[in-house]
Amino acid sequence: MPEGLARQCGIAAPALIETLTRFNEAAARGEGPEFGKGSTSYQRYLGDAEHRPNPCLRPLEGPFYAVEIYPGDIGTSMEPDITAKGEVRDRQGKVIPGLYACGNGINSIMSGAYPGPGSTLGPGLTFGYVVGQSAAV
C-alpha cells in the first residue's frame, strides 16, 4: 500500500516504508524520538488516554492518503464592503440583494491587515453567525 502512494506522490517508496517502519517501532515503545511527542506531562495530559504506552501517538495503519500542500500567504482583504448584517455592497455602496459575505474576504475590522495567527477567526465566526441569521429572514 505505501508503495503505491509513494509512486503517486513521486517519492522513493523505500524511504517512505523505512520512515513508516521506524515511526511505528518507536510508537509501539511509546517513544516519539524525532519530535519528542508525548515527552512531557502536559502533552500526555492532552493526548488520548486509550493509547498506551504514550497517549500522544500510536503505530500507524493504512489506508494512507496524501495531500499536496503549497505555501501561501494570508488572504485578508479590504473588500467587498458589507453592512452590519453581512450584506455585500456594490461599488456605489448599494446593497446587492441576496448576496452575503463573511470571513477573510470581507472588509473587516482588520482593514486588510493581519495582526497575528487566529486574529481573523473571531470576526469570521461572528459574521458567519450574523450572515446566517440575516439570510434566514
Residue 72 is predicted with a pLDDT of 62
Chain position carrying cell 495531500: 67
Whether residue 115 is contained in a domain is answered as yes
Which residues span the domain enclosing 22? 1-69
Q: How many beta carbons lie within 10 A of that of residue 68, not counting itself?
A: 6
Do 48 and 98 lie in a common domain? no
Q: DSSP letter string over 25-84?
A: HHHHTT--TTTTTT-SHHHHHHS-TTSSS-TT-----S--------------BS-S-B-T
Residue 76 is predicted with a pLDDT of 58
Which one-letter amino acid corresponds to residue 61?
A: E
Residue 104 is predicted with a pLDDT of 75
Number of domains in the chain: 2
CA distance linking residue 4 with residue 16, whole number of Å = 11
Residue 121 is predicted with a pLDDT of 82
Do 6 and 64 lie in a common domain? yes
Residue 83 is predicted with a pLDDT of 92
Summarize pLDDT for 66-119 with one digit per residue, the tens.
Answer: 888 776 666 656 678 889 999 999 999 999 999 998 887 787 677 767 777 778
Do 34 and 5 lie in a common domain? yes
What CATH number should be reported for the domain holding residue 26?
3.90.700.10
Summarize pLDDT for 17-57 with one digit per residue, the tens.
Answer: 999 999 999 999 999 888 888 888 888 888 898 888 999 99
Last residue of a domain, one of 39, 69, 99: 69
With a cut of 90, say whether residue 10 has pLDDT above it: yes
